Amino acid sequence: MVVSAHSADFVWRAGGAIGLYAERGWDVTVVCLSFGERGESAKLWREQGMTIERVKANRKEEATSAAEILGAKVMFFDVGDYPMRIPDSVLFELAALYRKIRPEFVLTHSLKDPYNFDHPLVSHAAQEARIVAQAHGHEPGTPVIGAPPVFLFEPHQPEQCDWKPQLLLDITSVWPKKYEAFKAMNAQEHLWHYYERVALQRGVQASRNSSRTIKYGEAYQRVFPQVTEELA
């Protein structure tokens, strides 16, 4: 399960993980809290006569196409952005989704981001909804979830967000699919090559921290300790 603030965030930051697990036969659900219609659609707003409804429709179409390319299902909560506010009703809707999907793990934003307040807000909401979904007293008629690990995908400027890469994921095999999903996000074409460079850099780092040759990578930070029977 991926909880994304805006309609394109999941593509840049977690498209490789989504594509990998979809190819392995996993059901991957992406939740977009907003379409990024105000703050992340500048190219569309330069068109004469543009309206908020048309921007939303465009970004929804882009995100749906990208999710299909990656092999995921996508949902839109349409809470708005810049600024984003998440009422309790949306929090409970997200908690209900946790209980319905029962995810093995969750991918979402960094806990801090001084450049974009929507991102940490969604990270906190994703984790609070997870806790609510674990509470026996919340809607006791539905089974609680366990403790799915939470991974924070890479923010745009990690050094400003107190974010550190703790897991480097080899996405080389699905890179063509991820880049194809990039090209579906036409409203933010200026980010295609930026995130290609990020993937190449993480690939170099993944190679250096392993005995493998890895061209493209994605990086994640863990929220909770890894529970394992082996150190390797």
Q: How many CB atoms lie within 10 A of CB 200?
A: 14
* Domain assignment of residue 163, yes or no: yes
- Asked if the structure places residue 56 within a domain, the reply is yes
- Hey, how many other C-beta atoms are within 10 angstroms of the C-beta on 182? 22
Give a yes or no: residue 21 inside a domain: yes
In a domain, 229, yes or no: no
| Chain mean pLDDT for the chain | 97
Residue 232 has what pLDDT?
76
Distances (CA, A) of 3 to 91, 95, 230: 12, 12, 29
- Per the structure block, which two tokens stand in for 153? 């995908």
pTM for this predicted structure: 0.96
What is the three-class DSSP state of 107? Answer: strand
Q: Find the CATH number of the domain harbouring 176.
A: 3.40.50.10320
Average pLDDT for 149-177: 98
- Residue 111 lies in domain: 2-222
The DSSP secondary structure of 38-74, one letter per residue, reads TTS-HHHHTSTT--HHHHHHHHHHHHHHHHHHHT-EE
Return the residue matching tokens 């805006």.
6
For 50-107, write each residue's pLDDT tens digit.
999 999 999 999 999 999 999 999 999 999 999 999 999 999 999 999 999 999 999 9
Task: Assess if residue 114 is contained within a domain.
Answer: yes
pLDDT tens digits, one per residue of 132-153: 999 999 999 999 999 999 999 9
Per residue in 200-230, pLDDT (tens digit) is 999 999 999 999 999 999 999 999 999 999 9
DSSP 64-118: HHHHHHHT-EEEE-----SS----HHHHHHHHHHHHHH--S-EEE--S--TT-TH
User: In sequence order, what are the residues at sequence separation of 6 or more whose Cβ sits closer than 8 angstroms to the Cβ of residue 47?
Assistant: none
**What was the pLDDT predicted at 212?**
95
Contact between 76 and 4 (Cβ < 8 Å):
no
The structural domain count of the chain equals 1
Residue whose entry in the numeric block shows the structure tokens 């150190």: 231
Please report which helix (H) or strand (E) contains residue 219, including its range: strand 217-222
With respect to residue 132, please indicate whether it lies within any of the assigned structural domains.
yes
CA dist list (Å): 96 to 88, 108, 121, 199: 12, 17, 19, 33
Residue 232 domain flag: no
Q: Is residue 217 part of a domain?
A: yes
Average pLDDT over residues 167-193: 97
Tokens of 67: 């999710």
Q: Enter the tokens of residue 132.
A: 């609510």
C-alpha–C-alpha distance, residues 141 and 209, integer Å: 47
Q: How many residues are given for the chain?
A: 232
